[in-house]
Amino acid sequence: MERMKYRVIIEKDEDGLYVAKVLDLPGCATEGKTRKELMKNVKEAIQAYLETLKKHGDPVPVEMVQVSV
């Protein structure tokens, strides 16, 4: 299976936690105490999101790219 790439926004909240939002997967977000923990969590969140889409027969969003002309 081909690996998909999704854009992720990472911010640090007021409590010092790292928060990630997956732009192409509405509602897919997670957090972690360290950047390393966050990256592990975001991969798990994306996998769970995609598995849920497949389970419900919903289409899986394709990778989005930006092209400048």
Q: Give the pLDDT of residue 67.
A: 58
Q: Which phi and psi (to 5°) does residue 52 adopt? A: -65, -40
Q: Which pTM does this prediction carry?
A: 0.81
If one counts the domains in the chain, the total is 1
In a domain, 3, yes or no: no
Q: Give the pLDDT of residue 2.
A: 61
CATH number at residue 39: 3.30.160.250
In a domain, 68, yes or no: no
- The three-state DSSP-derived secondary structure of the chain is CCCCCCCEEEEECCCCCEEEEECCCCCCEEEECCHHHHHHHHHHHHHHHHHHHHHCCCCCCCCCCCCCC
User: Could you list the residue range(s) of the whole structural domain that residue 35 is in?
Assistant: 8-55
Find all residues with CB under 8 Å of 46, minimum gap 6, and list them. Answer: 6, 22, 25, 28
Q: Give the pLDDT of residue 7.
A: 87
Block mean pLDDT (10 aa), the chain, length 69:
80 96 93 96 95 93 64
In a domain, 61, yes or no: no
In a domain, 44, yes or no: yes
In a domain, 62, yes or no: no
In a domain, 20, yes or no: yes
